[in-house]
Amino acid sequence: MTAILTQPLTAAAFAPFGDVLELKSQPDKLINQGLCGRHHDLAEMDFHGGRAGISLFDAQPRSFPHTLDMVERHPDGSQAFIPMSQTSFLVIVAPDQDGKPGTPLAFETAPGQSINLHRGTWHGVLTPLSAPGMFAVVDRIGDGDNLEEYWFDTPYTVSRP
């Protein structure tokens, strides 16, 4: 197996694959009588044929080392993963190389971070690192097959540095 080490999730490192959703140093504006900071429009949601939907995912926690043998992508819509607790999760993405995934990258979120994967981005499955694994997911709801899987001939092992 080929080894991959995780790195902290940053907006700059993740930009080719999607958006990092997190609080800014200052909100865009205060609402609700000044008691709530609105951090506005943090993701580029992109849907082809269909509509945005909100689902709840309840995923089993995983541990390190993590075996990566498959990635998937959604050609018709972006996909946002928003944890419903202040815990970290593992995000694996890969660049597209002629219709197949290239060498994967692994990011570990900080508590309070969420992600939005751009439409067509190769990515690993939802991988919480502790319980509960509850996530709100915003993605495309509509007709047609919006899932493509790729199984690696040789799995990767993902570990912390």
pLDDT at 118 over 80: yes
Distance, CA of 22 to CA of 39 (rounded, Å): 8
Query: Token match 């993590």: residue?
Result: 66
Kindly report whether the global pTM for this prediction surpasses the value 0.85: yes
Tokens 């580029």: give the residue: 44
Report the candidate in 23, 5, 7 with the shortest Cα–Cα distance to residue 109: 7
C-alpha 115/C-alpha 113 separation (Å) is: 7
> 83-93: buried (b, 16+ CB within 10 Å) or exposed (e) per residue?
beeebbbbbbb
Backbone angles phi, psi at 98, to 5 degrees: 55, 45
**What per-residue confidence (pLDDT) applies to 49?**
92
**How high does pLDDT run on average in the chain?**
97
Looking at residue 4, its pLDDT comes to 97
Average pLDDT over residues 1-19: 96
Per-residue pLDDT tens over the stretch 59-92: 999 999 999 999 999 999 999 999 999 999 999 9
Q: Rounded to 5 degrees, what are φ and ψ at 24?
A: -85, 175
* pLDDT(1) > 80: no
pLDDT above 90 for 146: yes
Q: What is the pLDDT of residues 23-57, one digit of tens each?
A: 999 999 999 999 999 999 999 999 999 999 999 99
